[in-house]
Amino acid sequence: MAQCAERQDDLPIGMPLRPGPPAFAALDLGTNNCRLLVGVPAGDGFRVLDSFSRIVRLGEGLHHTGRLSPPAMERALSALHGCAARLARRPLRGLRAIATEACRRAANGPEFLARVRRETGLPIDVISTREEAELALESCAPLLAGGARRALLFDIGGGSTELAWVRASSCAGDRPELAGYVSVPVGVVTLAERFAARAGDPGYFEDMVDDVRTRLEPFDRVHCIGHEIRRGGVHLLGTSGTVTTLAGLALDLPRYCRSQVDGTVLSRRQAEDAVDRLRAMGRDGLARHPCVGPERAEFVLPGCAIFVAIHALWPAPEVMVADRGLREGMLLRLIRAERARRPHAPRPHAPI
């Protein structure tokens, strides 16, 4: 999703910030994006001090070669140098930096991350698919408070799609529990590359949907999720650029606004109408749309195909949209660990 509030590349890197309270930082190097979030504790959450997001397309060509390409690594390194410079401008109490599917799959992923550490000082770790699902759940847990027995959380990424089958908390203050998860090695970048030769052909979109649905069906058979959805009391919650784009269209936003999207609930009809509108735009229309843009135009329909496959297999009457993800989950964990070490430290007020 084009998140205008995070486009802060024009901040003067060489100019030192005023002294402030030590902050926590979370960096997520994904298959398509490099994202940074810096915040300080506030109430039960955190207050954002700085954020950054850049499309780097680290996984470009990975499906065909099994390796990160030199241009992709250079794009990612450029963004990571910028992140390192931003982090050097303020005192930090904690930092977590992770990489996901592209670096998990690439034969030269470890070599690339070693180079990143040498050149930027950033200690990026490749996390497991389970931790990826856990971090997404960590960030979205406040949206799942009350009203449901279960939840199905999905995160459509660049190189993979994570699904978490969640047992809702039974007591106030308890966090939801991960009852099962799966990481499907299909994301917007990998699906776009696999079907690139057929883009625009009749049946192209439907074939992408069928491909993804086939990969999801074993997870449904294990956990009987479709049966649980028909019984009721199950939330469907999506966190990714795809679902936030659908929400932006459904809300007719002239420009993307996180505060209006995060926590929005779309009816099944609203979600389906938004997909139809995106499919009707064509690539040029997608590139011009303020909630998409030229850098994401080729990935929107593959993302929609993944969403449609999820929504067809698990036809919940509503889908909740979350504009939060791995970075927020990492920050919350860092803050919780700090409080466990310092149990009597005062809590700032007014979380954002």
The pLDDT score that the predictor gives to residue 4 is: 36
Would the pTM of this model clear 0.75, i.e. be above it? yes
pLDDT at 209: 97
pLDDT of residue 71: 97
Residue 12: predicted pLDDT: 31
Give me the pLDDT at residue 281, please.
92
pLDDT averages per 10-residue partition of the chain, 352 residues: 35 42 92 95 90 94 93 97 94 95 96 97 95 92 82 94 86 76 93 85 92 97 94 91 94 89 95 95 90 89 96 95 94 91 60 44
Specify the pLDDT at position 2.
35
pLDDT at 168: 79
Measure the N-to-C terminal CA separation of the chain; round to a whole number of Å: 20
Query: How much is the pLDDT for 351?
Result: 46
What is the distance between the alpha carbons of residues 299 and 294, in angstroms, rounded to a whole number?
Answer: 10
State the pLDDT at residue 279. Answer: 93
Q: Where are the domains of the chain?
A: 4-127+327-341, 130-321
The CATH number, out of the four listed (3.40.50.300, 1.10.357.10, 3.30.420.150, 3.90.1200.10), of the domain defined by the range 130-321: 3.30.420.150
pLDDT of res. 50: 93
Range list of H helices, 69-203: 70-87, 101-105, 109-120, 129-140, 188-194
Please, is 185 exposed, middle or buried when counting C-beta atoms within 10 Å of its C-beta (0-12, 13-18, 19+)?
middle
CATH superfamily of 4-127+327-341: ATPase, nucleotide binding domain (3.30.420.40)
Domains 4-127+327-341 and 130-321 share a fold: yes
Task: Give yes or no for a contact between 153 and 325, defined as CB atoms under 8 angstroms apart.
Answer: no
